[in-house]
Structure 1
Amino acid sequence: MTQRSLLVRALWFVLVGWWLTPLVVNVAWLLNATIILLPLGIKLINLVPTVLTLREPRSVVDPDSTGRGQSSLLVRVVYFLFVGWWLSWLWANVAAFFAVTIVGLPVALWMFNRLPYVTSLYRFDG
């Protein structure tokens, strides 16, 4: 994928990203709640920073490069079932509110970048 200019990303945010992001967040949460459509919901959650500002998609952490790899699948499933499904919804909607306020945009970006981890302890390198 090619790197998008700051101007294009800013225009995307002003025209589309600010209103589309809360919609994507809540659709992803509804998909996660169905369990059957959970993989699609997780995919949408991972794309939230891209929807907001056209940020390039991230890659999974290489355990050798950071010393902190992914948590085991069992731990991630238990976390998601008891905490991740509801905390991610709350986290993402608070972040969406911050994004709409413009002043809170840096906080929103920080929160959206951590959304996959809040949802299922899923780590990215960026």
Structure 2
Amino acid sequence: MTQRSLFVRALWFLLIGWWVTPILVNIAWALNVTVVLAPVGIKLVNLVPTALTLQEPRSLAAPEYGRGQRSLLIRAIYFVLVGWWLSFLWANLAALFAITIIGLPVAIWMANRLPVVTSLYRFHG
């Protein structure tokens, strides 16, 4: 996968990313507090970096997918006890940072780590 140009990503952020990301985060959080729709919420959480800056999503088909992950049981317990509320705070703080020029690098860093904060899921690559 190749990233879009910096110009296109910056233009996206200025026109769309800064306002659509908080909406996506809050919809994902609302879905995450339900049992049935939590998988959809998790998928939306994984799309936050793309919504913010058009960063290409990381592939789940990579050969190392699944290696080095905590067990699903540990990740589920973490999500139920911590991940659902901490990811809400984390993502909204990232969205707040994103509206400032100085905070934008921090917002991007935080958005890229949102899957870990939500469910201890670590992307490879």
Q: Structure 1 length as normaliser, TM-score?
A: 0.91
Q: Residue in 2 aligned with 1:120?
A: 119
Q: Alpha-carbon deviations, 1:24-80, whole Å to 9, x = none?
A: 00000000011211111000000000000000101347279xxx6110000000000
Q: Residue in 1 aligned with 2:100?
A: 101
Counterpart Cα distance in 1 of 2:65 and 2:8:
34
The amino acid across from 1:24 in the alignment is L
Aligned length: 123
Counterpart Cα distance in 2 of 1:102 and 1:29:
26
Counterpart Cα distance in 2 of 1:44 and 1:81:
17
Please tell me whether residue 18 in structure 1 is matched to residue 18 in structure 2. yes
Counterpart Cα distance in 2 of 1:31 and 1:63:
25
Tell me if the contact between 2:3 and 2:56 (Cα under 8 Å) persists in the aligned partners. Answer: yes
Q: Structure 2 length as normaliser, TM-score?
A: 0.92
SS in 1 for 2:123: coil
Call closer, same or farther: CA 1:40–1:63 in 2, change over 3 Å: closer
What are the within-5 Å matches in structure 2 for residues 1-126 of structure 1? 2-60=2-60, 62=64, 69-126=68-125
Q: Which moved more, 1:102-111 or 1:1-10?
A: 1-10
Superposition RMSD in Å: 1.7
Distance apart, 1:3 and its partner CA: 3.0
Structure 2 portions without partners, runs of 5+? none
The amino acid across from 1:16 in the alignment is I
Give the structure with the larger helix fraction. 1
Structure 1 portions without partners, runs of 5+? none
Runs of 4+ in 1 over 3 A off after TM superposition: none
Counterpart Cα distance in 1 of 2:9 and 2:65:
31
SS in 2 for 1:57: coil
